[in-house]
Amino acid sequence: MEHTHVIIRPVVSEKSYVLSAADRYTFRVHPDAHKTQIRQAVEALFEVHVVEVRTLSVKSKPKRRGNSRGRTRTWKKAIVQVRAGESIPIFQGLQALEG
């Protein structure tokens, strides 16, 4: 699997902003990707050194719009910790907006 297929997009939430201050970044990843693939993809795409990778499956939630009912998709999330002093540039602009 190619690196661009492993990392789908960054997760933008309040929790991910707080984690980015501690050099931890959150990504939506391919459901079949394992920790080694995620580590290699982040190191190759963002040129940082990964210290730790944690993964979890986000369960689907029931949703309703009018009379129709459905569920959101189940997806996989990875929280990646990079070496102290390093950062991922995607999240830099978000932190600048906070201040």
CATH of the domain at 41: 3.30.70.330
Per residue in 23-52, pLDDT tens? Answer: 999 999 999 999 999 999 999 999 999 999
Per residue in 12-23, pLDDT tens? Answer: 999 998 898 899
Full-model pTM = 0.85
75 domain-assigned: yes
43 domain-assigned: yes
Contact indicator for 6, 38 with CB cutoff of 8 Å? yes
Identity of the residue numbered 44: A
Which helix (DSSP H) or strand (DSSP E) does residue 19 occupy?
helix 14-20
Q: How many CA atoms lie within 13 A of 84 on its CB side?
A: 0
Nearest to 26 by CA among 36, 18, 16, 15: 16
Range of the domain at 15: 3-91
96 domain-assigned: no
Number of C-beta neighbours around residue 50 at 10 A = 19
